[in-house]
Chain A
Amino acid sequence: MSLKNCYNFEDFRKLAKKKLPSPIFHYIDGGSDDESTLRRNTDSFNECDLVPNILASVGKPDLSTTLFGRKIDMPIFLSPAAMQRLYHPDGDKASARAAEKFGTFYSMSSMGNNSIEEISNISSGPKLFQLYVHKDRSISDDLIDRSRRSGFDAMCLTVDTLVAGNREKDHRTGFTTPPKLTLQSLISFAMRPNWVFNYLTGKKFELSNVKKKTDKGTSIAKSVIEYINEQYDPAMGWKDAEYCAKKWNGPFALKGVMSVEDAKRAIDIGCTAIMISNHGGRQLDGSRSPFDQVKAISDAVGDKLEIILDGGVRRGTHVLKALAAGAKACSFGKMFLFSLAAGGQKGVEHLLQNMHDEINRNMVLMGCKNLKELNSSKLIYRSRS
């Protein structure tokens, strides 16, 4: 199996599974508790159907839109994801270059292994920085200042990670960062010599953006769960979010909004966008899926905020359904991380090309010339008995 045989999510996933040591693969692949929300995030797209219009003289559809004040070439982008060097030695550099090539947003996690400055030197494409509010507020201040200086276009504050989700796969595999070799995982690492070679010979593994402020990301083997529970501030409230929005003073999103009430409040504190997300089913299991919730939120605030649907997207048709239900764009984490693990920058480009082709083909089949033509009239929800 090679990259050129990867046609869809499942293919990239399989190739990633082959290439990654099992604790690392399962860290990407797993959700919380029984993973019912993780499954629902994708399943929910199957409860409504697209209704095409024929003979619409589509020609070549225009897939571009604007997001966070930048024009992007297609309505999808890469969600912020932590520790990308665990998946491929090029880490964030690979993702950022691939996104730039396809004219869309790359996002950097507070817990990235490449620094803000490093990425802004190699990419002039659209860039979003993802912020966590740490107990030590000077960490957040520093990240905001540096992102601005480095020319990032937008900032999102993650609000669904006050406490780590119950990711049972990580308990079982002993996933820590940097990876700790337990007897159990040793075999899995030993069977992937390439990964181990790259990991050991590459640059030292670190959380580049927060390394000056905390030693937690580097010297000590810590599970992500422990990191979240020690470093993030569970007392974070609306005032803290408002402070970050004001300090950033540019396009600003909350990532992890699920209720209509919170979406309205996001407008009041000066957000220009929200990301409807349950953190890829990795936090509160039993939580509603973004697609199930997008219509209600879009009906309430769609004219005042840019709505991004984050989670469960695996197909071009999923993107079309999300846009028809009121989203401005979609983002995804797992899918591109698998492609990153499968083939670095080339892998992510291959994925983005696939998604571009799917969206393009499906727009033609739907009879839509541009994204604006995707509206609720194109969707029918299956009968709810």
Chain B
Amino acid sequence: MIMRLKDCHNFSDFRKLAKLKLPSPIFHYIDGAADDEITYARNTSAFDDVDLVPNVLRGVENVDLSTTIFGKKLDLPFYLSPTALQRLFHYDGERAVGKAAKKFNTMFGVSALATVSVEEISSMIDTPKMFQFYFHKDRGLNDSCLERAKAAKFDVMALTVDTITGGNRERDLRTGFTSPPKLTLSSLFSFATKPMWGINYLTKGKFELPHLQDFVKEGTSTNSSIGNYFSTMLDQSMNWKDAEKLCSQWGGHFALKGVMSVEDAKRAVDIGCTGIMVSNHGGRQLDGSRSPFDQLAEIVDAVGDKLDVICEGGIHRGTHMLKALSLGAKACSGGRLYLYALAAGGQAGVERAIEKYKSELVRDMKLMGCTKISDLNRDNLRFRRT
């Protein structure tokens, strides 16, 4: 039984501890995905269809894990994807995650639906930061987000393009997940059995969505499900012209998050993007969608020399990252990768998770006979089915 942070050695351990600590609707909001969760499962199992082939006797005392994306050098080849509502998972929320990212000098992704403001985050950490942007119907809100992120000196803007409507997250339908949490009869029991979560939620500062609250009521007072937010607030007419306009309005490193086809990846180059996240939103949107790792090689072949390709989703292990990097991804990222750890232990939890992945990477690089990320290439891999 996993009861303490120091019992957590891997992804699944952090997940178990998070389950113990969180009220069930909130745990299932993180843990769940769309429809039958087939894509969610495939995102991880895709890594099992390819094997690593190590080289021996290469002298591997010192391993350098650093990589450069969006013009910023990171000490690790993975970073923390933007995720919404972090203060629901631990009362320190983005403050905890940001400080952990800073400690390891990797990028911290801040969601438009963050519960701590870009200004506060920027005053807290000087390491690389990405702001994740949703395209709302309210253009005033869009402009405000962009201006605030720019003023707060964020390094990268990532426009999410795979949430034009809410995914069918059936677990949330059953548990009645809303933000802020609504006490329904069915969830009451679960909240009541995790009193620490309830006490912290009620006493550690008001729950807010600081980037939205001046514009929409969904930010604070009314209970709204995330699916409902996507479906009613976001502009479903968003197209390539809008993305191009945002990109030039931002005027810095700009990425599309949720690109899956080669055609779209090429178009991202044309509109001036400097990176793309190959992602299906952690299996939370279109179930049956291809996994990022399955699709990675095609995309790298088409555009890998023109922008930074990031593999996002399904990563549980250092070896998963090694496989994605060998195929040509510049970096990897994940949300659940650190969210369970956040729920399990706040900043200390996220730091422990990053430390675990880092030590896995160092060990696995040595076992592969590699001392730097650029040593990894497709010769290291054999696909089981060709």
List 30 interface pairs A-B (beta carbons < 8 Å), by A numbering: A33-B10, A34-B10, A36-B48, A37-B51, A159-B56, A163-B60, A163-B362, A237-B57, A237-B58, A237-B59, A238-B57, A254-B56, A254-B57, A259-B54, A259-B56, A261-B55, A262-B57, A285-B317, A285-B319, A286-B47, A286-B319, A286-B364, A287-B51, A287-B367, A288-B52, A289-B51, A292-B51, A292-B382, A293-B382, A384-B385
Q: List CB contacts (< 8 Å) of B328-386 with chain A.
A: 360, 362-364, 366-368, 382, 384-386
- Closest CB in chain B relative to A296 CB, distance in Å: 8
A200 to B363, CA, bound (A): 35
Flag whether B305 is at the interface (Cβ < 8 A).
no
A237-B58, A285-B317, A384-B386 known; A40+B366 contact, CB < 8 A: no
* Contact digits for B1-29, partner A, Cβ 8 Å, 1 yes 0 no: 00000010110000000000000000000
Cβ contact within 8 Å between B367 and A160:
yes
- Closest CB in chain A relative to B41 CB, distance in Å: 14
Cβ contact within 8 Å between B56 and A262:
yes
A235-B60, A288-B52 known; A168+B386 contact, CB < 8 A: no
Cβ contact within 8 Å between B366 and A166:
no
A162 CB contacts on chain B under 8 angstroms: 60, 366-367
A256 to B53, CA, bound (A): 11
A256-B56, A286-B48 given. 4 additional CB < 8 A pairs?
A33-B10, A163-B362, A258-B53, A287-B51
B368 CB contacts on chain A under 8 angstroms: 284
Q: Tell me the interface secondary structure of chain B in the complex.
A: mixed
The closest CB in chain A to the CB of B365 belongs to A163
Interface size on A, residues (CB 8 A): 41
B320 CB contacts on chain A under 8 angstroms: 286
A-B contact count (CB 8 A): 104
A289 CB contacts on chain B under 8 angstroms: 51
* Contact digits for B35-50, partner A, Cβ 8 Å, 1 yes 0 no: 0000000000001100
* Contact digits for A267-307, partner B, Cβ 8 Å, 1 yes 0 no: 00000000000000001111111001100000000000000
| Chain B, interface residues (CB within 8 Å), range | 20 to 34
A40-B51, A289-B51, A384-B386 known; A284+B364 contact, CB < 8 A: yes
A163 to B344, CA, bound (A): 29
A213 to B322, CA, bound (A): 37
A288 to B60, CA, bound (A): 20
Cβ contact within 8 Å between A287 and B54:
yes
Cβ contact within 8 Å between A286 and B52:
yes
A288 to B223, CA, bound (A): 50
A258 to B47, CA, bound (A): 19
- Closest CB in chain A relative to B168 CB, distance in Å: 29
CB < 8 Å neighbour of A165 from B316, B317, B367:
B367
A262 CB contacts on chain B under 8 angstroms: 55-57
Q: List CB contacts (< 8 Å) of B211-264 with chain A.
A: none
Flag whether A57 is at the interface (Cβ < 8 A).
no
The closest CB in chain A to the CB of B322 belongs to A286
A237 to B384, CA, bound (A): 30
Most buried by B among A36, A37, A171, A258: A258
CB < 8 Å neighbour of B57 from A159, A292, A385:
A159
Flag whether A30 is at the interface (Cβ < 8 A).
no
Flag whether A179 is at the interface (Cβ < 8 A).
no
A256 to B52, CA, bound (A): 13
A286 CB contacts on chain B under 8 angstroms: 47-48, 51-52, 317, 319-320, 322-323, 364
The closest CB in chain B to the CB of A47 belongs to B384
B55 CB contacts on chain A under 8 angstroms: 258-259, 261-262
A237 to B371, CA, bound (A): 13
Flag whether A240 is at the interface (Cβ < 8 A).
yes
B60 CB contacts on chain A under 8 angstroms: 162-163, 234-235
Cβ contact within 8 Å between A236 and B317:
no
Flag whether B61 is at the interface (Cβ < 8 A).
yes
Cβ contact within 8 Å between A287 and B52:
yes
Cβ contact within 8 Å between B363 and A288:
no
- Closest CB in chain A relative to B99 CB, distance in Å: 26
- Closest CB in chain B relative to A7 CB, distance in Å: 30
The closest CB in chain B to the CB of A33 belongs to B317
- Closest CB in chain A relative to B322 CB, distance in Å: 7
Q: List CB contacts (< 8 Å) of A165-211 with chain B.
A: 165-166, 168, 171-172
A166-B360, A234-B366, A293-B382 known; A287+B53 contact, CB < 8 A: yes
A241 CB contacts on chain B under 8 angstroms: 57
The closest CB in chain A to the CB of B44 belongs to A34
A235-B60, A293-B382 known; A288+B53 contact, CB < 8 A: yes
A108 to B57, CA, bound (A): 22
Cβ contact within 8 Å between A258 and B319:
no
The closest CB in chain A to the CB of B50 belongs to A286
Cβ contact within 8 Å between A284 and B56:
no
The closest CB in chain B to the CB of A229 belongs to B363
* Contact digits for A38-57, partner B, Cβ 8 Å, 1 yes 0 no: 00100000000000000000
Flag whether A83 is at the interface (Cβ < 8 A).
no
Q: List CB contacts (< 8 Å) of B305-323 with chain A.
A: 316-317, 319-320, 322-323
Flag whether A257 is at the interface (Cβ < 8 A).
yes
Shortest beta-carbon contacts, A-B, top 10: A288-B51, A286-B319, A284-B367, A159-B56, A237-B59, A163-B366, A235-B61, A238-B57, A235-B59, A384-B385
A40 CB contacts on chain B under 8 angstroms: 51
- Closest CB in chain B relative to A21 CB, distance in Å: 20
B362 CB contacts on chain A under 8 angstroms: 163
Cβ contact within 8 Å between B61 and A33:
no
- Closest CB in chain A relative to B375 CB, distance in Å: 13
A384 CB contacts on chain B under 8 angstroms: 384-386
A34-B317, A163-B363 known; A284+B52 contact, CB < 8 A: yes
